[in-house]
Amino acid sequence: MKRSQIIALVAALIIAAAGLALWNPWDPCDAPSAVCEKFGEIQKLDGVASVKIDYETITVDPKDGGSASASWTVNLSEDQQDSEAIATAVRAEKILQGAAVPAVQLRNYSQYVLGKPRVIKSAEATGEYFPLLVSADEDLEGELQQAFTLRNAGALRVTNSSVVAADASSMRELARLSHNSDYVVSLETEDRKVRYTPDPGIDLEKLALVIEAGALPNVETAIYGSQMLSVHSASADSTVETSAIQHWLEQRTPPNDEPLKYSVSSPGYAKILEGWIGSVPPDSHTPSPAPLPEGVAAWPRDPDANYCTADDVRFTLSTPDAALGSRYLSIYATNVSDQHCALQGLATIDFYNKDGVTQQDVTISADPGISPDIVVIPVGETAISTMKWGAMSTTNDPDETEFLEISLLPGLEPVKLTPKIDGADTSLDILDEAEIRISPWVQALEGWNKPN
């Protein structure tokens, strides 16, 4: 190629480059021009490395113009002081919140990131994660200051509400800093073996427990959240290794000397063992005599009273009741004999569908907070046992419970009872595999009515 041709080619390339600078077919702002103007303003700010926008039309209304959303990601330059980066973000936020499209209801959402994202692929988390990512809220400046503080203290990744630490030691330090600074953030180690969610603030004793549990042999994960410690074992539930984990949990002193529930799950979550740290349940799980409602006088006690027989009591049912996904029903036992008699423990109950077939695999458990004390029923008076269960789906017309059979003790002749509402027979959404909690016989319970 001749020298003159080379010069001409270079000149043409320069002209083409200049044209592309003026008209960029790969312009990253794919949004209405009014929004892209704001996009350009933010790009020109000192301290902004790049900007990305995702504009989405949500509805189109010929009359009102419809609605749309704009999601902004502003990548802050790393070569500036924290205070400068925060100030840059505040300026950018003011600009983008001013973005508007005529006749369109536009909602702007924004997040501020720092550094290059890291690609992470695991069973629980896959995607690109920035070292620092803060979504704008009412206090963007404060959220960014918190994020920079945690990042400077060694956090690998930080968001408004979460912190990833390199290891358990770093997690402790970041938790202590967050606790002292009143930061409400969840914490986890990079390998996701140990995770802690505050409730609502960070409790350093609970955090220490979950870290220690995560360090036990054969523990795959130790997670604290929803006021419970969940440990996943690498060994089956019946093995010595898993038994050792459970034994360790039951030998620990509960954090702050307050009851804390735990669970130990086996591979595949085939079985979950539950208990209380240090074997210390809350008072509500320690059976005690049921307190009587205000204004109710206790029945006389008689240690020599005979136990009630099937002929001594008449069983009846209350009207079924419901609230917030729970169901309630009371069983009444009225002393129809000529002398007082005693009941103790739980009634024996079976549930039947309309064909008279027993509901299968129904689990009945005793109310753990009420001790099964002897109740001596005076002549003409009525004792009560309460039932509670979760609402069950009745779609596709399943076989609901149409009647119950109740007896004082297993093996005694049962009494058939049909639930009623306003005198008409009704069914109960107690199906196969229902779980029902029943109280022992008591004189009365707060919040539960008895017949007049």
Dump pLDDT digits (tens) for 73-109. Answer: 999 999 999 999 999 999 999 999 999 999 899 999 9
Residue 23 has pLDDT above 80, yes or no: no
CATH of the domain at 87: 3.30.70
Q: Are strands 219-225 and 194-196 parallel, antiparallel or unpaired?
A: parallel
Predicted confidence (pLDDT) per residue in 302-342, tens digit = 888 899 988 999 999 999 998 878 899 999 999 999 999 99
φ/ψ of residue 431, rounded to 5: -115, 180
What is the arithmetic mean of pLDDT over 9-15? 36
How large is the average pLDDT for residues 157-177?
A: 97
- Take residue 248 and report the two structure tokens written for it: 């360790």
Q: What pLDDT shows up at residue 2? A: 40
Residue 418 counted as domain residue? yes
Host domain of residue 80: 27-114
Which residue, 54, 79, 114, sits at the end of a domain? Answer: 114
> In this structure, is residue 157 part of a structural domain?
no
- The answer to whether position 32 is within a domain reads yes
Last residue of a domain, one of 68, 94, 114: 114
On whether residue 103 sits in a domain, the answer given is yes
427/418 Cα distance (integer angstroms): 8
Q: Indicate the residue among 85, 114, 143 that finishes a domain.
A: 114
Structure tokens at 255: 């954090």
133 versus 283: the higher-pLDDT residue is 133
Confirm whether 146 is domain-assigned.
Answer: no
- Which residues, in sequence order, are bridge partners of residue 254? none
In the chain, how many domains are there? 2
Mean pLDDT (whole number) for 128-155: 95
Contact 369, 284 (CB under 8 A): yes
| Residue 6 confidence class, pLDDT cut points 50, 70, 90 | very low
What pLDDT was estimated at residue 26? 39
pTM confidence score: 0.61
Within a domain: 287: no
User: Taking all residues of the chain, what is their mean pLDDT, rounded to a whole number?
Assistant: 88
| Structure-token match 């360090």, residue found | 215
**Residue 361 belongs to a domain:** yes
Q: Is residue 331 part of a domain?
A: yes
